[in-house]
Amino acid sequence: MRVVSTYSHKNGKQFIGEHFQPELAEVYEVIQKIDASKAITKVSKEKTMPGRNLYAPIQLNRLFKEEFNDIGWRNSKINVGTSVSLPGGKTLTHRGFRDMDFVRHRLGVKSSSASMLSWCITSLLR
């Protein structure tokens, strides 16, 4: 596979490039190692493209998991909480977690497979 475009929100790509260069290089290496043709195992049942061979998201995720795990990246659930002050002195608090597919040295990668493969690379610094 190869990276054909990137989107950087609020200079995130620059920040990650400056603070996580070795990890970012590993992400690009993993992407280059993936042979996406191994994941063309799904046959479309949609009216607009019946019988067309498609990438199977589960298989793509499996290929990425193997590559990232081989170099020490692991799944991580991070507890998060958000509090908002409301009028009248009340506070609304939401607690939950953020599930990152692959984390190493506080840099997280979250994959999303739909009509295209997309990645969210996030710094987990506090």
Distance CA 34, CA 2 (A): 9
Interval 32-51: pLDDT, tens: 999 988 988 888 888 888 88
Q: Is position 94 within any domain?
A: yes
Give the H or E element holding residue 96.
strand 91-104
Q: Is position 16 within any domain?
A: yes
CATH of residue 59's domain is: 3.40.91.20
The predicted model gives 93-121 an average pLDDT of 78
Number of folded domains that form the chain: 1
Q: Is position 125 within any domain?
A: no
Q: Is position 126 within any domain?
A: no
Comparing CA positions, the residue from 78, 126, 80, 76 lying closest to residue 104 is 76
In the DSSP assignment, the letter for residue 124 is: -
The predicted model gives 63-79 an average pLDDT of 92
- Domain hosting residue 71, numbered range: 12-120
Is 36 in contact with 60 (CB distance < 8 Å)?
yes
Distance CA 33, CA 25 (A): 12
pLDDT bracket for residue 125 (50, 70, 90)? low
Q: Is position 2 within any domain?
A: no
Q: Is position 87 within any domain?
A: yes
Q: Is position 38 within any domain?
A: yes
